[in-house]
């Protein structure tokens, strides 16, 4: 039993492999999840669709630190009495770059009335205030002129429709009334389009460039001095060749600023794993293999080898490959794993996905494809 794979030895000075659902404290996984590694490989190879592959991830880190950062949160509505008023510098809103306009000092402040605020940009504040006034003018115009006129035209169209029903369809009068109806419909469409464009250009778009944000102090976890040993295999030979040719294009794992040094990349042949082999590295182990005692984790009582052996480690459910669902969103395949170290091999079979990568100096890596 043997299998071809690509072995990567990577180093990162620091990284955060963010756990989903962690908001106030951006917690990190101890090793990158499968989807993170597979995504980095796809990016390095320039893939735009999913290529099937299996990965084994193990490694260790020097320390786990917590860093404080200031979190900026844009509110869904532009409130006049709270937070920090800003103007976005990118009209498409694809960028979060902004200019600070003013900041509310306390509850009851008002940017429009210049009440209890700290002003950073007077010119932009005046622009905001004029837009608030313009918004009221547009609303008044809509309520007092536009809607009544549209209502009058619709009533006239309704009257003509009733009149047309009483006429002979072949008569000239029927054709005339129908033409008047169509003219009114066109007039309504024209008025609605013109008013919508006027409202959008004079108020909606300019006002949407102003936003309110709030700030809060949060924490994120940061691993440092990370060593990773990653094995990759695929049933598709071309995929393997692509990965080997592009491993040095892997620039980061985790956040975009979590840079990667590729210290080694080798095409290796994995051998059958022997019972009794052990590893000091931390790794993601298939939970099913641990429960079946294919892998024996560190135990409080090292003499205990029975079925009541206590499993030592941390359980995770990690994303791997994904498909696109009917709603267009990614649906990830989830893998149940145990994060553990100082584990020992029991008797394994080929379908368990466990192999050994022998090094030249007699050392080895246990490879657990999940």
Taking only Cα atoms into account, the Rg of the chain, rounded to an integer number of angstroms, comes to: 33
Contact 138, 203 (CB under 8 A): yes
Q: What confidence score (pLDDT) does residue 216 get?
A: 80
| This prediction's pTM | 0.66
> Can you give the pLDDT at residue 160?
92
pLDDT in tens, the chain (370 residues): 689 999 999 999 999 999 887 666 789 999 999 999 999 999 999 998 999 999 999 999 999 998 887 777 777 778 888 889 999 887 555 566 889 999 999 888 999 999 999 999 999 999 999 999 999 999 999 999 999 999 999 999 999 999 988 898 899 999 999 999 999 999 999 999 999 999 999 999 999 999 998 888 888 899 999 999 999 999 999 999 999 999 999 999 999 999 999 999 999 999 989 899 999 899 999 999 999 889 988 765 545 454 455 678 999 999 998 887 777 788 888 999 999 998 999 888 878 889 999 998 889 999 999 8
Torsion of CA 199, 202, 206, 211, to 10 degrees: -50
Query: What's the CA gap between 306 and 108, in Å, rounded?
Result: 68
* CA count, 13 A, side-chain hemisphere, 56: 26
Report the candidate in 128, 137, 316 with the shortest Cα–Cα distance to residue 207. 128
Q: Where are the domains of the chain?
A: 3-68+219-368, 92-208
CA-based nearest residue to 253, from 20, 42, 101:
42
Strand residue runs (E) in the chain: 3-15, 25-26, 54-60, 63-74, 84-88, 98-104, 117-119, 210-233, 261-272, 278-279, 282-286, 295-296, 314-324, 330-340, 343-345, 354-358, 364-368
> Phi and psi dihedrals of 138, rounded to 5?
-65, -40
Distance CA 282, CA 285 (A): 9
Question: Which residue(s) pair with 262 in the sheet?
Answer: 10
Q: Any long-range contacts for 171-180 (C-beta under 8 Å, 24+ apart)?
A: none
Phi, psi dihedrals of residue 117, rounded to the nearest 5°: -130, 155
CATH code matching the domain that covers 3-68+219-368, chosen among 3.30.1490.270, 2.60.300.12, 3.30.70.120, 3.30.70.2660? 3.30.70.2660
């Amino acid at each position: 039993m043997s299998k071809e794979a690509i072995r990567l030895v990577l180093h990162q000075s620091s990284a955060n492999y963010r756990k989903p659902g962690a908001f106030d404290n951006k917690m990190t996984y101890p090793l990158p999840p499968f989807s993170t590694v597979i995504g980095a490989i796809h990016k390095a190879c320039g893939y735009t669709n999913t290529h099937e592959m299996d990965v084994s991830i193990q490694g260790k880190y020097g320390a786990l630190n917590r860093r404080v950062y200031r979190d900026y949160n844009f509110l869904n509505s532009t409130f006049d009495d709270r937070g920090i008023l800003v103007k976005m510098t990118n009209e498409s809103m694809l960028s979060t770059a902004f200019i600070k306009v003013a900041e509310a000092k306390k509850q009851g402040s008002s940017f429009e009335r210049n009440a209890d605020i700290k002003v950073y940009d007077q010119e932009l504040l005046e622009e905001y205030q004029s837009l608030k006034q313009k918004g009221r003018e547009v609303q008044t115009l809509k309520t007092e002129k536009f809607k009544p006129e549209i209502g009058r035209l619709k009533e006239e169209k309704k009257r003509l429709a009733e009149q047309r029903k009483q006429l002979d369809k072949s008569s000239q009068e029927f054709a005339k009334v129908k033409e008047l109806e169509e003219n009114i419909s066109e007039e309504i469409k024209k008025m609605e389009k013109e008013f919508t464009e006027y409202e959008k250009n004079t108020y909606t778009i300019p006002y949407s460039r102003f936003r309110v944000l709030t700030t809060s102090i949060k924490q994120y976890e940061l691993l440092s001095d990370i060593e990773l040993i990653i094995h990759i295999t695929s049933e598709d030979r071309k995929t393997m060749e692509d990965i080997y040719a592009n491993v040095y294009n892997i620039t980061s794992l985790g956040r975009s600023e979590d840079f990667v040094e590729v210290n080694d990349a080798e095409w290796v042949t994995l051998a059958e794993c022997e019972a009794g082999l052990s590893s000091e590295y931390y790794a993601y182990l298939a939970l099913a293999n641990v429960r079946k005692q294919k892998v024996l984790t560190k135990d409080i009582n090292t003499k205990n080898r029975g079925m009541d052996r206590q499993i030592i480690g941390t359980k995770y459910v990690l994303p791997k490959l994904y498909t696109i669902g009917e709603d267009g969103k990614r649906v990830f395949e989830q893998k149940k794993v145990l994060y553990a170290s100082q584990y020992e091999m029991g008797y394994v079979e080929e379908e368990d996905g466990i192999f050994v990568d022998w090094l030249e100096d007699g050392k080895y890596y246990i490879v657990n494809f999940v």
